[in-house]
Chain A
């Protein structure tokens, strides 16, 4: 159980285009999902918290107009990188929270490798 999927696994796009990444919790419902960014040989950096039915909460320094997050259902959150540029190239990973309160646990997706040319 507790499986999180991401699609696509990798994407290459031209500078100036937009890219949408999907994150799904396959066997549980998640009112909260998170989006992270990871550069090579570095740790995960939290970008935003995605809450079902409400606006996402962005971490300091993350442009909300550039990284659009939509959490339309309890099993799906999407991250859209708008007007992508080469510096947006990175490994994007989502996670979904399973459980409630003192027993909740965060499970991660397999990641999406974005390359902007």
Chain B
């Protein structure tokens, strides 16, 4: 079945440095790739998404890249701040529908002051 793998499971970076989280997916028909940030005890918050017709998207300190040939996509956070500490989930659509998505296993990001 469809699968999304996410690495690393935990990541600790110095404040101000960059953080990169990588995901791979199995369904070649997937065309929508959102990233969510989840803080303790809260629901996931959409932080950025990318669709298959583009290879990169940026929003201030956050960027996502997509390589459809290799079936992998990555989240890049630059100039990290303490409030970036959270669990981050990548996801990929099941088939061509952007509604139903399958999640990666999550990355716990810690920002060291």
- Give chain A's interface residues, CB within 8 Å of chain B: 4, 6, 32, 34, 42-44, 46, 49, 93, 97, 101-111, 113
With contact pairs A105-B46, A108-B43, A108-B44 given, residues A97 and B99 touching in the complex (Cβ less than 8 Å): yes
Contact A43 B103 (CB under 8 A): yes
Q: Which residues of B contact A46 (CB under 8 A)?
A: 100, 102
On whether A44 and B44 interact (CB within 8 A), knowing A102-B98, A104-B98, A105-B49, the answer reads yes
Chain B contacts for A42, CB-based, 8 A: 105-106
* Number of residues on chain B facing chain A (CB within 8 A): 21
Closest to B105 in A: A43
Q: Given that A108-B44, A110-B42, A111-B43 are contacting pairs, would A102 and B51 also be in contact in the complex, using a CB cutoff of 8 Å?
A: yes
One of A4, A44, A49, A108 near B100 (C-beta < 8 A)? A49
Residue in chain B with minimal CB distance to A60: B1
